[in-house]
Structure 1
Amino acid sequence: MARPDLTVLAIPAFVGAMGAEFWWQRRHPAEPGTVRPGDYELNDTIASLTMGVGSLIAPFVTGPIVRRLSPGTTRAGTALPALGAAAGVVTTVGDVLRRRREHGGVLPEAGTLPDDEPAPVVVRSRAEALGLLTSASAVAAVASTAVAAASVWATEASATRLAQRSPFSMRSGAATYLLAIAGWDFIYYWNHRLSHESRWLWAMHVVHHSSERYNLSTALRQPVAEGWTITVPYGLLALAGIPPKYIEDARAINLIYQFWIHTEAVRSIGWLEKILNTPSHHRAHHGSQRQYLDINHGSILILWDKLFGTFEPEDERVRYGLTTNLDSFNPVTIATHEWRDMAKDVAIAPTWRDRFSFLLRGPGWAHDRRAELAPATDTEPMAGVA
Structure 2
Amino acid sequence: MLAIKAENISKQYRLGQVGTGTLSHDLNRFWHKIRGKEDPYLQIGDTNDRTTKSDSEYVWSLKDINFEIEQGDAVGIIGRNGAGKSTLLKLLSKVTKPTTGKIYTNGRIASLLEVGTGFHPEMTGRENIYLNGAILGMTRKEITRKFDEIVDFSGVERYIDTPVKRYSSGMYVRLAFAVAAHLESEILIVDEVLAVGDAEFQKKCLGKMGDVTKGEGRTILFVSHNMAAIKALCSKGIFLENGIIKESATIDKAIQQYFSNNNINKFQFENSSFKFLNFNLIGENGKENINISNGENFHFEFNIEIKNNYRNGFGFCIAIYNETEDLISAINTYHINNEIASLEKGIYSFKVEIPKYILNTGTYNINFHFNGIEGEIIKLLENIYTFNVYDDGYRRGNKFGALWPGKISLVPKIIIENVY
Instruction: State the TM-score bracket (shorter-chain normalisation).
Output: under 0.3
Q: Which has the larger radius of gyration?
A: 2
TM-score, reference length from structure 2:
0.22
Q: Which has the higher strand share?
A: 2
Q: Which has the higher helix share?
A: 1
| Higher relative contact order, structure no. (Cα contacts within 8 Å, ≥ 6 residues apart) | 1
